[in-house]
């Protein structure tokens, strides 16, 4: 785990949604990184309320259990479309070889994503969103119509982007959620935090 991956995990650590195996790896990296890690974790705790996830311990525990259950079921399940998803993931990695993904040419405030979003892809997505946010668009829409699955690291990247956009008075939305992704958001109650629309056009018209 490099420090950028550690930062993704730290954001999830403070809201209590790391899996047990992730937590063990996180603790090892935390000890290895020393004061640098402690300073970043302190920053995460300071911005915890801004995430909109300041929940009572019992509720936070319930969310953690829901997310862990989703991950366990996914790992145990047999995916008939596994090959196609691997291809889509490869395409997104290849297109992001420069470290960022490209917004839509006809709509530079829309970031289309495709394939499964996990710990390895989320830093690229974070960098892409940060590049868009630096231009302070009035609206920023993440198009998830091509995304069949997003894990906790991917959620952290999107939550942080929403926080930063709203901090300067912009509007942030998700569009085109597939059934599995919508279920993940609903079970973790993140659907109560994001503005979600059936497609990009609807999002742009509404926010």
pLDDT, tens digit (0-9, with 9 covering 90-100), for 63-118:
555 555 554 554 454 344 444 444 344 445 444 444 557 888 889 999 999 988 88
- Total-model pTM: 0.59
- pLDDT at residue 147 greater than cutoff 70: yes
- 3-22 average pLDDT score: 77
Residues 200, 207: Cα–Cα separation, whole Å: 11
Residue 104 phi/psi, 5-degree rounding, is: -60, 135
CB 113 within 8 A of CB 144: yes
110 φ/ψ sector (left φ>0, alpha ψ -120 to 50, else beta): beta
Q: Check residue 156 and give its pLDDT.
A: 85
Residues 140, 161: Cα–Cα separation, whole Å: 9
How many CA atoms lie less than 13 Å away from 89 in the CB half-sphere? 16
∠ CA 204-112-96, rounded to 5°: 145
Higher pLDDT, 19 or 74: 19
Residues 61, 57: Cα–Cα separation, whole Å: 6
Structure tokens at 157: 């990247």
Higher pLDDT, 67 or 10: 10
As a whole number, the mean pLDDT across the chain is 77
CB 6 within 8 A of CB 15: no
Q: Check residue 19 and give its pLDDT.
A: 74
Residue 142 phi/psi, 5-degree rounding, is: -100, 115
Q: Residue 116's closest CA among 66, 61, 178? A: 178
Domains contained in the chain, CATH given: 3-206 (3.30.750.24)
Sequence-ordered list of residues with C-beta below 8 angstroms from that of 162, at least 6 positions apart, any chain: 172, 193, 194
CB 153 within 8 A of CB 185: no
CB 201 within 8 A of CB 169: no
* 3-state secondary structure at position 11: helix
């Amino acid at each position: 785990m490099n420090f950028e991956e550690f930062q993704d995990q730290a954001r999830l650590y403070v809201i209590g949604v790391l899996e047990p195996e992730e937590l063990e790896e996180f603790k090892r990296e935390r000890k290895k990184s020393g004061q640098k890690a402690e300073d970043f974790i302190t920053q995460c705790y300071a911005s915890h309320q801004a995430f909109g996830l300041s929940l009572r311990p019992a509720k936070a525990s319930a969310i953690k259990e829901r997310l862990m259950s989703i991950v366990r079921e996914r790992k145990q399940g047999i995916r008939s479309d596994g090959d196609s998803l691997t291809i889509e993931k490869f395409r997104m990695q290849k297109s992001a070889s420069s470290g960022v993904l490209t917004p839509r040419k006809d709509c530079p405030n829309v970031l289309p994503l495709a394939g499964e979003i996990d710990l390895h892809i989320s830093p690229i997505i974070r960098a892409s969103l940060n590049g868009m946010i630096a231009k302070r668009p009035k609206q920023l829409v993440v198009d998830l119509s091509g995304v069949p699955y997003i894990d906790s690291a991917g959620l952290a990247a999107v939550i942080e982007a929403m926080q930063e956009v709203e901090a300067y008075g912009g509007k942030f939305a998700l569009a085109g959620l597939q059934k599995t992704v919508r279920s993940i958001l609903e079970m973790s109650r993140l659907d109560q935090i994001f503005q979600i629309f059936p497609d990009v056009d609807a999002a742009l018209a509404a926010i």
